[in-house]
Structure formats: structure tokens, C-alpha cells
A and B are shown apart, each in its own frame.
Chain A
Amino acid sequence: MKIDKNTINKIARLSRIKLDDKESEDYIKDLNSILDWVEQLNEVNTENVEPLSNISSSILPKREDVSKDTNSSDEILENAPDKLEGFFAVPKVVE
């Protein structure tokens, strides 16, 4: 089994998602079955194969490096759950 309780807790922590015990159990099961299934890729010989990260066959154009002001802070803050004097507000970080 690749994913145990410790691993799922570590991944959940990295993902910043709180899991309860029941959920952890379920995800351990799901993730192990998915990982077993994707393991079939090991049958494929990929020696000397370049990884493909961008499929676009067109040449990606360059642009001039000039700054442009497109957003106002008012607009950016419009959907914030909490804001304070032109800033996003979050719980206190430093005591």
C-alpha cells in the first residue's frame, strides 16, 4: 500500500485541506486504487523520451516588456471575504 495514514495526512497538510477520520479512510482507499491503476505506465519504455509539457504546435509569440495597469485595487478587492483599508484581511498571523 503506497498511501497510509501518515502519507494522507502529509498530503492533506500540503494541500491545506482538513480531513476528518472517515474522509482520510476513504481517500486512502481511493488513492491507493488510483495509484495501482496508473502504475501500468511502468510497462512503457520511456528511455530517451523528452517529457511533453506544452502541446501547442504554434510558436509562442513574444511581447514587449512594458508595464500596464489593468486592475484597480477596488476591483481586485470587490470579491474579498474580508478587507481593511485597501488590503485583504486575514486572521492575525503574529501574536
Chain B
Amino acid sequence: MSNSSLKQALKDLDTKKISIRELNQDYLKRIKEKENLNIFIHFSEENVLKQIDNLEKDNSTKKLKGIPIAIKDLFCTKSMPTTAASKILENFNPTYESFVTQKLLDEGSIFVGKTNLDEFAMGSATNTSFFGNTINPLSKENEPLAPGGSSGGSAAAVAADLCLGATGTDTGGSIRQPASFCGIVGIKPTYGLCSRWGIAAFASSLDQAGIFSHNVEDASILLQSIAGFDKRDSTSAKIDIPNYFENLDDDLNGKTVGIPKEYSIDGTPLEISQIWEDAIKVLEKKGVKIKNISLPHTKYALPTYYIIAPAEASSNLARYDGVKYGFRSEEIDSLDEMYENTRAQGFGREVKRRILIGTYVLSAGYYDAYYLKAQKVRKLIADDFNKAFKECDFIVTPTAPSAAFPLNEKQNDPIKMYLNDVFTVPASLAGLPGISIPFGKDKNNLPLGIQILGKHFDEQAVLNAALSLERSYE
């Protein structure tokens, strides 16, 4: 693996040390070598070569000109099919481009392919995909590991050095957890920073686009490129986007870090507690004040999430009815038969489970007891963070309760699978920005991740703290 950085590649392209074609051919070669990892749902060498041809004819200066980027197959792209890893969107060719991918195209980046994910982003191991598991590139031979999920394909693509950055989406941890499992950087920005336009919706009050990269500097460059106001997303924030990269500053002297005691959870492996302590020690050495904080409703975040997210999903996924796009069942004696068979055959098990639970908690007689109750607890969780951020500049926690686990290990018990998101879901419910950076290894030499959370729209503080920790670790 070359593990070169995007920043370095931009420099090499600028000084003509390497051409766009040479750079991308190097990546194309590796993509073909790593086909067995099942990272891409859609990959076409011809398509990549066409993009290279077009850029070579283009004389304008562009910020990401010629940079190979992988796109989670949840973003609508005009030049490639979009499946959301579901049979129900097999052969769907969007007639429009998502906001985020359009921004990346405008900056001259090259899309190497569409990456695998859990079906409709519902999962934590990229094992609910209709197109099969993705294998974590850090796996040893014959011991395939999960890359995490739902954006497991994008995380694996960066980790296997098949691109210089990738897009992901994070609803309850779907960027941060796979970043941790694959030993790379993953940032989920504040809810509203990046437009949701053109992203297949899962849970609209939580879905947020973000970035995977080899390092924090690259994350800041790419985040800059995909952020911004979009009138087609009613929750898109109309704020000025700072220059994250220019403003990077690893000097944390005088800052305060919050350490939430509720994130010490029984049963967390010792190695995870150890890297958390190590990170705190590093920060202390850098002149950061350590503040013990309390987020008292933390333990209720997961059950809250698993009411709200399925409820929103059941509503969002109502659109897949076999009429307008995608798969339609052959058994269509009546209109209702068509709907019921199309959805029965088109959706996978986990997606159906969430639609059913979501439909139940929204149904007459149960709405107040489940959905409304969850929205109220969500308010308390968000308030916990608001209070905590009066006393600290950022919060540091582990990203996930384990390193990458063997493929298929956690499939049978849904609740056990949901526990993967225990450290990432609270910030999602509160709409806060969070990053995961590699920090330490477990006994099997697999990477572990540290999560840094910030105030709404304070991505800069998150990136600065991440940079500082990254530099101390390298």
C-alpha cells in the first residue's frame, strides 16, 4: 500500500511530478488487484478513463483536479447506477446528481466507483448488502473481518488505498465506526452542513454526508469541498463555511476537553479503555485541561435511536413501490399484490425488520408511547450535550466498543448488532460533528479509533483536536 495523502498528490500534480493519468492508473491497478474484497458495487475502468480524458482537455484550475474519489452507493450519480445496496434499486440510473457529488465533480475529482454499504445504510458490518459482504482490507488470509458499516465499502476503499478519499453517510455511526474498523479517518459533520439532496434517505432527521480519508489534513480539504448551503434541502444550513484546511492548528494549549463518565460501559474491552486513557494523557501533555463531564441520558440513546430511525425509515422507504423506478415483482395480479410482492422481494431482511418496527411505533395507539416518547428523550440527550459544551471545547471518547470483528459474527441478534453504535449514536441524535481517528491497536494488531465530538458547526475544533492527536501518535 502506498498510503500517500491527497495533499501530497495535489502537490505532485501541481509540480508535474506526476500526471493525472499516471496517478489514476496506479489506483486503477490496485482496484483490479483487490477485486476479491468486494469493495465496489459499480466499477468501470472505461468510465474512469473517460473522466481522465475529459480532465486532460480541461485547462481550468480546479481544487481537486484529477484526485481519485470513491462514492458510497447511496449518493445519486448521473454517470453511474445507484443501488443503495438494495435489490429494489437494482438497475436504477439517476437522472440527477446529488449535491455532494456535484460539488466534487465541479472541483475536478475523478469518481473511481460506487462503494458497497449495508442495504439503505442499515447495518454496522456491510453485511446486509444485496451485493454481498465487503471484506476489511486489514483481514488476514482466511480470516475475513467486517469493515464496519454502513459505509464499509468507502472505508475499505481508503484503507486499501484504492482512492485518496471517499464519501460516506452517517445516521448513527456509519462513517465513524467503519473508519475505526479500517484504521482511517472518518468525519461526520454537523447535521445540516452538507446537503442531503440526492442521497437515498434513511432517517432524514439524522442522515448526514461526510468524508473518509488517510489523514486529518485530507479530511479538512475534502470536507470543505462538500459543505455548503443548498436550497433543495430544507434543513441545509445557511452559514459561511470556514477554510478548514487553512485554519488547521494543532496547538491545543488552554483548551478544555470533556470526558463523559457515562462512556465507561461495563464489558468494554480493556484495550478500548486503555487507548481512551492514552488519548487523554496525550492531550494533558499538550496543555489541554481535562474536565470530567456527565451526559446522564447516554444509556437511553440507543433505544431512542432504534425508535426514531426505523420510524423515519418506514416513511422514507414507502416510495419504493415498483411504480416509479427500480425493481418490480413479476407477480402483479392487482395493484396491492404488486406493492406487497415488490417490497417483499426487493427489500432484505434487516430493511424489512426496520420498516415493520417503524410502522408499528408510528401506528395508531402506539405513536405517543414510542415515537413521541423517543423524541422527548432525544431532547434530553441533546440538552445534556448543550450543558456539557458550556464547560468544554470538545469531547473525547472511544469510537466503537471493539476492533473489527469477524464477518458474520453478529448477525443473528439484532440488539447485539445495534450495540456497535453505542458511542456514536448520542452525537447523531444531538446533530453534533464527530470524527474518528486511528489511535492504538488491540492485541491482534487491529486498529482502534478515538472519537472527538464538537459543538454544532464547530468542525474546526474537532479537526484541530484530531490533528493534534494524530501528530502525537504518528
Contact surface of A with B, Cβ cutoff 8 Å? 3, 7-8, 10-12, 14-19, 23, 27, 30-31, 33-35, 37-44, 46, 49-61, 63, 71, 75-76, 78-82, 88, 90-91, 93
What's the Cα separation between A10 and B334 when bound, in Å? 19
Query: CB within 8 A of A16: which of B303, B340, B415, B430?
Result: B340
Stretch of B60-68, B164-172, B378-386, B445-453 with 4 or more beta carbons under 8 angstroms from chain A: B378-386
Stretch of B8-16, B106-114, B354-362 with 4 or more beta carbons under 8 angstroms from chain A: B354-362
- Asked whether A80 and B344 contact (CB < 8 A) given A40-B300, A63-B231, the answer is no
Q: Are B380 and A49 in contact (CB under 8 A)?
A: yes
Q: Are B332 and A91 in contact (CB under 8 A)?
A: yes
Q: Are B235 and A56 in contact (CB under 8 A)?
A: yes
Q: Are B360 and A44 in contact (CB under 8 A)?
A: no
Find chain B residues with CB under 8 A from A43 CB. Answer: 300
Residue of A nearest to B95 (CB): A75
* 9 further A-B pairs in the complex, CB-CB below 8 A; given A41-B373, A44-B376: A7-B360, A11-B360, A44-B377, A49-B379, A51-B376, A55-B431, A57-B192, A81-B323, A90-B323
What's the Cα separation between A9 and B68 when bound, in Å? 48
- Taking the closest CB of chain B, its distance from the CB of A70, in whole angstroms, is 9
Q: Are A38 and B307 in contact (CB under 8 A)?
A: yes
What's the Cα separation between A51 and B303 when bound, in Å? 16
Find chain B residues with CB under 8 A from A91 CB. Answer: 332-335, 337-338
What's the Cα separation between A10 and B42 when bound, in Å? 38
- Taking the closest CB of chain A, its distance from the CB of B197, in whole angstroms, is 12
What's the Cα separation between A33 and B417 when bound, in Å? 13
Query: CB within 8 A of A90: which of B338, B376, B377?
Result: B338
Q: Which of A16, A63, A88 has the most CB atoms of chain B within a 10 A radius of its CB?
A: A16
Provide a sorted-by-A list of 28 A–B residue pairs whose CB atoms are within 8 angstroms: A8-B356, A11-B360, A15-B355, A17-B344, A17-B352, A17-B355, A18-B343, A18-B344, A19-B344, A30-B414, A34-B357, A39-B303, A40-B299, A49-B379, A49-B380, A52-B382, A56-B191, A56-B237, A57-B190, A57-B192, A60-B235, A76-B324, A78-B93, A79-B325, A79-B326, A82-B328, A88-B324, A90-B323
Q: Are B363 and A16 in contact (CB under 8 A)?
A: no
Inter-chain residue pair count (beta carbon < 8 A): 164
- Taking the closest CB of chain B, its distance from the CB of A50, in whole angstroms, is 6
Query: CB within 8 A of A3: which of B95, B332, B338, B360?
Result: B360
What's the Cα separation between A43 and B344 when bound, in Å? 36
Residue of A nearest to B231 (CB): A63
What's the Cα separation between A30 and B321 when bound, in Å? 25
Residue of B nearest to A77 (CB): B324
Residue of B nearest to A75 (CB): B95
Q: Are B303 and A37 in contact (CB under 8 A)?
A: yes
- Asked whether A56 and B359 contact (CB < 8 A) given A33-B414, A44-B297, A80-B323, the answer is no
Find chain A residues with CB under 8 A from B431 CB. Answer: 55-57
Q: Are A18 and B376 in contact (CB under 8 A)?
A: no
Contact surface of B with A, Cβ cutoff 8 Å? 92-93, 95, 190-192, 205, 231, 234-235, 237-239, 297, 299-300, 303-304, 306-307, 314, 321-328, 332-341, 343-344, 347, 352-353, 355-357, 359-360, 363, 370, 372-380, 382, 414-415, 429-431, 456-457
- Taking the closest CB of chain B, its distance from the CB of A34, in whole angstroms, is 6
Q: Are B325 and A41 in contact (CB under 8 A)?
A: no
Query: CB within 8 A of A34: which of B191, B205, B306, B322?
Result: B306
Find chain A residues with CB under 8 A from B306 CB. Answer: 34, 37-38
- Asked whether A38 and B343 contact (CB < 8 A) given A50-B379, A61-B238, the answer is no
What's the Cα separation between A43 and B356 when bound, in Å? 25
Residue of A nearest to B234 (CB): A60
Residue of B nearest to A37 (CB): B415
Residue of B nearest to A27 (CB): B356
Residue of B nearest to A55 (CB): B431
- Taking the closest CB of chain B, its distance from the CB of A1, in whole angstroms, is 13
- Taking the closest CB of chain B, its distance from the CB of A71, in whole angstroms, is 8
Find chain B residues with CB under 8 A from A27 CB. Answer: 352-353, 356
What's the Cα separation between A49 and B373 when bound, in Å? 10
- Asked whether A58 and B239 contact (CB < 8 A) given A14-B363, A16-B339, A44-B297, the answer is yes
- Asked whether A58 and B238 contact (CB < 8 A) given A14-B359, A31-B360, A33-B415, the answer is yes
Query: CB within 8 A of B335: which of A8, A37, A90?
Result: A90
Residue of A nearest to B322 (CB): A81
Find chain B residues with CB under 8 A from A17 CB. Answer: 340, 343-344, 347, 352, 355-356
Residue of B nearest to A16 (CB): B339
- Taking the closest CB of chain A, its distance from the CB of B191, in whole angstroms, is 5
Query: CB within 8 A of B205: which of A19, A53, A59?
Result: A53
- Asked whether A93 and B376 contact (CB < 8 A) given A44-B300, A79-B325, the answer is no
